[in-house]
Structure 1
Amino acid sequence: MPTEPSPPAPRLASTGTIIYGVSVGEVLGVSTLAGARLIAGKGGLNRIVQRLNVMEVPDILAWVKPHELLLTTGYPLRNTPQSLGRLVADLDERGLAALGIKLGRYVDELPDEMIEQADRLDFPLILLPNDVGFDDILNQVLTDILNRQAAILARAEEAHRALVQVVLAGGGLREVAAEVANLLDVAVAILDGAGHVLATAGPPDDVAVLCEAAVRESTTPGVTWAVASGSSGVAWPGGDGADGGFAAVPVVAGGHHHGRLVAYSPTGTLRDSDVGILERAATVAALVITKQEAVTAVESKYRADFLRDVLIGRGGPRVTERARAFGWDLERPVTVVVAEMDPDGEERSAQDRLLSAWVSAVRRHDPRGAVAGFSHEVVAIVGAGVDVTRLTRDAQTAFGDSAPATFSTGMSRVAHGVDLLPDAYGQALKAARVGRQLHGPGAIAHFDQLGVYRLLSLVNDTAELHAFVAETLGPLASDDDAENVDLRRTLQVLLETNLNVAETARRLHFHYNTLRYRIGKLERMLGRFTEDAHLRLNLTLALHVLRMRGI
């Protein structure tokens, strides 16, 4: 009798469901098969047996089912022994677990082709003892399968009760992970959708190995846990050569993927029933996460409503005390920062990720800072000493890791007192919007750096602005002619250098005489701007308007 193999690791059926039963290796260990001998297909001993069948007709393929152990005396094939050569491939194609056959009465020996094919397909061929009846084998193996399934159900029910009790007692993800680690004697980690660890439990060394695998899976292209839709899988993130067993199950609630629950056993003893318990635990974890998200959403809305009232001057007499209840310090000198989604990126999910990125960044840079999400932007109030540009860059990095959308950021002047926060909010909002007009999506602008653009942004009649540009710049207002665009660039540099011909020629890499020729051409088109200060002002404003996008 062959030695019993170690318990098989959890595996998936082609349908993505866990297969419960006993392995072929375990079947060979029952007493009625003490005299059985494995003659081929040793690599398939971990195949799962869920049912048994007896081959009584030659066309048995129409009657077999996946995960069956098929028993035969060879009687149906006594007149067509050549059919044995193809039988193994046909049974393997239909997902059978193994074939047990008695030799000597109807079939004297198995063809070499059949044995070679079984080894190639890892399909177990078992030589059954002649003194054991099929009914004995059927009774004992089916009893083992039923007992195994009953034990699995009882264990799963016990685990379910323990996990539900964790939730009823108000436990969170940490307590769920601890309960699973205790039930299965494994290391457990619960990951969010981005692969970040939310909670862990189990032996510290094993947890470290599991977290390392999680980091590798989330940061290495092409490396992923083997997770099937609606079920679990097993994999070592990173390839071959790792010891132990890893299992991963998705954490899903309401059709939304919240992450994964992963487990690690250094001995590699994770079984199908263990993975079933992990799936129940993942369902409980999804409930915990959903509850936390609901509570967080209510708290976030309350914070946002309060901060909105403060920023429009309706915070009430106890603003600072209420702010302290949220952990915010609004009594010190502060800067208001507005992060506004750029066009084509204002879907709800992107707005939620934007708020998450800013909450994380503000927490790192200023734990006493306030942050809340409004309908179209995120507003943060941080201490005047905070490096707001660096804060914004950190938020952009966090947001950019999870979404292709972008946002523009505006910063106010320092506000000394709660009463000045509405003005500061208006400054930050203006800086964000004008900054986007000047520099495009993803711009970062400070209110004090806007200059004349602050005034231009106040003109709501864009048609009037267009008319002003066309009247002032004439043919240079259009981008249709490449020569005119080049002349407009020359005019802009001339005005920036205060008509310094030498400096303009250096910046544009022109010969001095070439620039003189261009100035003459510009004055014939626009007027004597080198002598008329008012005309130069009009030209400068027209060029500024052209720089503002969306006008």
Structure 2
Amino acid sequence: MSVGEVLGVSTLAGARLLAGESGLGRIVQRLNVMEVPDILAWVKPHELLLTTGYPLRNTPQSLGRLVADLDERGLAALGIKLGRYVDELPEEMIEQADRLGFPLILLPNDVGFDDILNQVLTDILNRQAAALVRAEEAHRALVQVVLAGGGLDEVTAEVALLLDVSVAAVDGGGRILAVAGPPDQVASLRESIVREGPPLPPAGATGSAVRLPPTSTSAGPGARARGGTMASVPVIAGGHHHGRIVAYSPAGVIQDSDLSILERAATVAALAVTRQEAVNAVESKYRADFLRDVLTGRAGSAERVTARARAFGWDLERPVTVLVAELDPEGDERTAQDRLVTCWTATMRRHDQRGAVAGFSHEVVAVLDAAVDADRVAKDAAAAFADVPPATFSTGTSRPCQGAETLPEAYSQALKAARVGRQLHGRGAVAHFDQLGVYRLLSLVNDTEELHAFVRETLGPLAADADAENADLRRTLQVLLETNLNVAETARRLHFHYNTLRYRIGKLERLLGNFTDDPHLRLNLTLALHVLRMRGI
């Protein structure tokens, strides 16, 4: 009970507040009687201390320090009977009580301490019992929500009914996931969350209640005043913060017992969130497995693929483009892959509701309406992914295709475009299969062993990476061909002396032939180096 509520009980009808009016909201949890000099060693926080002043009868000078000592120990208030042992309280004590907001209560002389103790403690115990009953009812109702398979909509609706307030479930980004309650209160709650965000609890606390100042939601005579109490508790599951449960009461006060119910609701909400995450994970795996089967040609007939795709909300019958987003190396692949899937899923939802998207072990594959700008989609996904550096990804785009039977070839094109694009342009590249030039032709050669044989025959000992000197010579050859045999430019790029480069050219010609005079040999060498750059693609 608050001190103000204690003063309202019948046994204290004749009591009078002497000082500390600003502290009437202090909470009383227990009562104690001070009739021994060393009472300060025995008092506890939130106590209402009753006294006749007997321990202070011979030391009235100690009254001035008493208020500060009791306030320091967290007491709720002091009730005293005057006229028996202490005739009046010193002015210093009154001033100090007003300054500290520590209520001083003048008790009626005709009321015994046992009557006060009995009535106030009975009221406190009754309130605690009622709070326990209410908490148990809330617990049963919320457990029933869980057992019935309810989600955030059902949780918020149940809490709104239990507390007679409006309630919202808000994710970590402040987005409202579910809301329930009277429509006018819901509107105020939405407005407060959008404008101010849910109140955050103090450090170490599990929840918080914040009084909102009265404001006006519109101008003119029809303006509606908005104020009240807003409370918030975090939703935490598996050590992760998933958002908050927020309650709003326009007139009443949200009590500690209400916060306790909100905390129970947050626990149930955490169960609902983790359950939904588990469901999403299973569904995501099914989607990924099915799309992988489609892209590798193992999903069955076109009719079967179309029917199953519709069940996932995908349209694979229209003209589409396949995009592959593959993580660039040197990043934390596990966490980066999860973020990559999330970013591409959200981006696809904005650009093509019927497009397919799924995450594989090291890449994300999207099947996009051919009429949608694939470059824009890749750029938007990259912008969302770049919020948390340093990971990057490269994107490859296939030719437009139509029909499930053409998707495996389109997937192969997009995958090659992503990997070749990274080789040519570096991390974060966006490449189209049709723009790969000679790499596109080389990628169409299905017999990779033949390509490797061509490399070995053309480059000889320079085809292997085992010898560091040969790898260095191969780099020299590559730059020479790129500069069209411009010796001065090649020496500048490689930071060689002119004579050193001349020596290297002689060594290369002894290994490979007279390529400086044979354009056909130069073409073969260029192609072999291109194939080598495509190794693993």
TM bin, normalised by shorter chain, reads 0.7 to 0.9
Secondary structure at 1:291's aligned position in 2? Answer: helix
CA distance in 2, matches of 1:437, 1:238: 60
CA distance in 1, matches of 2:529, 2:98: 80
| Within-5 A mapping of 1:297-336 | 297-317=281-301, 318-336=304-322
Secondary structure at 1:39's aligned position in 2? Answer: strand
- 1:375 is displaced (CA, Å) by 2.0
Give the corresponding residue for 2:264.
280
Q: Is the 8 A contact 1:350 1:403 kept in 2?
A: no
- 1:124 is displaced (CA, Å) by 2.1
Secondary structure at 2:200's aligned position in 1? Answer: coil
- 1:269 is displaced (CA, Å) by 2.3
Give the corresponding residue for 1:416.
402
CA distance in 1, matches of 2:177, 2:369: 29
CA distance in 2, matches of 1:229, 1:306: 46
Give the corresponding residue for 1:231.
206
Q: Is the 8 A contact 2:209 2:254 kept in 1?
A: no
Moved more, 248-257 or 143-152: 248-257
Secondary structure at 1:244's aligned position in 2? Answer: strand
Q: Which amino acid aligns with 2:413?
A: Q
Change (3 A) 1:204 1:253: same
Change (3 A) 1:157 1:526: same
Change (3 A) 1:235 1:403: farther
Q: Which amino acid aligns with 2:129?
A: A
| Within-5 A mapping of 1:252-263 | 252-263=236-247
Q: Which has the higher contact order (CA 8 A, sep 6+)?
A: 1
CA distance in 2, matches of 1:337, 1:131: 88
Change (3 A) 1:415 1:69: same
Structure 1 unaligned blocks of 5 or more: 1-21, 478-487, 500-513
Residue-pair matches, total: 496
- 1:533 is displaced (CA, Å) by 6.5
Structure 2 unaligned blocks of 5 or more: 217-225, 456-462, 506-514
CA distance in 2, matches of 1:238, 1:434: 60
Listed one character per residue, the Cα deviations across residues 363-414 of structure 1 (whole Å, up to 9, x for unaligned) are 2211221111222222211121121222223333444557764433322222
- Asked whether 1:113 is paired with 2:99, we answer no
CA distance in 2, matches of 1:372, 1:237: 44
Give the corresponding residue for 2:54.
75
- 1:141 is displaced (CA, Å) by 0.7
Change (3 A) 1:145 1:236: closer
- 1:30 is displaced (CA, Å) by 0.9
Change (3 A) 1:45 1:442: farther
Secondary structure at 1:108's aligned position in 2? Answer: coil
CA distance in 2, matches of 1:441, 1:98: 69
Secondary structure at 1:109's aligned position in 2? Answer: coil
CA distance in 1, matches of 2:388, 2:76: 44
Q: Which amino acid aligns with 1:376?
A: H
Secondary structure at 1:159's aligned position in 2? Answer: helix
TM-score between both structures, scaled by the size of structure 1: 0.77
Q: Which amino acid aligns with 1:232?
A: G
Change (3 A) 1:314 1:57: same
| Within-5 A mapping of 1:50-129 | 50-129=29-108
- 1:247 is displaced (CA, Å) by 0.3
Moved more, 189-198 or 271-280: 271-280
- 1:29 is displaced (CA, Å) by 1.0
Moved more, 329-338 or 300-309: 329-338
Listed one character per residue, the Cα deviations across residues 94-143 of structure 1 (whole Å, up to 9, x for unaligned) are 22222222223222333333333333332222222222221111111111
Q: 2:369 aligns with which of 383, 389, 392?
A: 383
- 1:344 is displaced (CA, Å) by 5.3
TM-score between both structures, scaled by the size of structure 2: 0.79
Q: Which amino acid aligns with 1:262?
A: V
CA distance in 2, matches of 1:132, 1:366: 78
- 1:452 is displaced (CA, Å) by 5.4
Secondary structure at 2:43's aligned position in 1? Answer: coil
Change (3 A) 1:445 1:85: farther
Secondary structure at 2:79's aligned position in 1? Answer: strand
- Asked whether 1:471 is paired with 2:446, we answer no
Change (3 A) 1:203 1:342: farther
Q: Which amino acid aligns with 1:192?
A: D
Q: Which amino acid aligns with 2:227?
A: D
Give the corresponding residue for 1:502.
none
- 1:190 is displaced (CA, Å) by 0.3
Moved more, 355-364 or 160-169: 160-169
Q: Is the 8 A contact 1:226 1:235 kept in 2?
A: no
Moved more, 532-541 or 318-327: 532-541
Q: Which amino acid aligns with 1:357?
A: C
- 1:474 is displaced (CA, Å) by 5.5
- Asked whether 1:197 is paired with 2:176, we answer yes
Q: Which amino acid aligns with 1:449?
A: Q
- 1:338 is displaced (CA, Å) by 2.0
- Asked whether 1:134 is paired with 2:119, we answer no
- 1:524 is displaced (CA, Å) by 6.2
Q: Which amino acid aligns with 2:245?
A: L
RMSD: 4.2
Moved more, 287-296 or 44-53: 287-296
CA distance in 1, matches of 2:62, 2:477: 89
CA distance in 1, matches of 2:501, 2:140: 85
Give the corresponding residue for 2:190.
211
Secondary structure at 2:245's aligned position in 1? Answer: strand
Larger radius of gyration: 2
| Within-5 A mapping of 1:427-442 | 427-442=413-428
Q: Which amino acid aligns with 2:209?
A: V
CA distance in 2, matches of 1:236, 1:345: 46
Change (3 A) 1:52 1:340: farther
- 1:148 is displaced (CA, Å) by 0.9
CA distance in 1, matches of 2:405, 2:467: 35
